[in-house]
Amino acid sequence: MGAARATRLGMALAVVCVSASAAAAQQADNPLKRVMKLMGFATDVGQPADFVVKSRPQKEPDYIPIFQPPPEPARSALFDKDLNALKGDLESVEKRDDALRQAFPPPAQAAADGPAQAKKTKSTPTAAGK
């Protein structure tokens, strides 16, 4: 008997919660909110900080359609001459970086030569040590 009554009470409370609107839930004199505050499920919303109030627009923003086309880019399209110059710049950077990568041994070889290379560098005097 007690379990059935608790179930009915729970269902009634759920129906009241679902039927209450969000705007009504924010009102301070709402009886549902008072009950929820007593149970620890609701709190009062405080005033926002000054910087938040200052950063908000003075009036409500206009309607922004969801499916509007994106804005056009600020830069114009590159022509053949500009595009070829850009490709040349990219290729020169790629060649420079490839040359830098070739100066270093592959990771597997570097790991295998690591201890031998460390002994070799300790025995040779450095320019900073002179």
In a domain, 37, yes or no: yes
pTM greater than 0.75: no
State how many domains the chain has: 1
Q: Are 72 and 78 in contact (CB under 8 A)?
A: no
In a domain, 23, yes or no: yes
CA-based angle 102:107:110, to the nearest 5? 90
> How far is the C-alpha of 42 from the C-alpha of 23, rounded, in Å?
14
Instruction: Tell me the per-residue pLDDT of 18-40, one tens digit each, with 9 for 90 and over.
Output: 665 555 555 566 888 888 888 88
Domain extent at residue 45: 2-55
According to DSSP, residue 127 is labeled T
Pick the closest to residue 32 from 46, 11, 45, 13 (CA basis). 13
In a domain, 114, yes or no: no
Contacts of 77 (CB under 8 A, 6+ apart): none
Instruction: Tell me the per-residue pLDDT of 36-84, one tens digit each, with 9 for 90 and over.
Output: 888 888 888 889 999 999 998 888 878 777 887 878 888 888 889 999 9
Contacts of 24 (CB under 8 A, 6+ apart): 30, 32
User: What is the model's pLDDT at position 1?
Assistant: 58
In a domain, 10, yes or no: yes
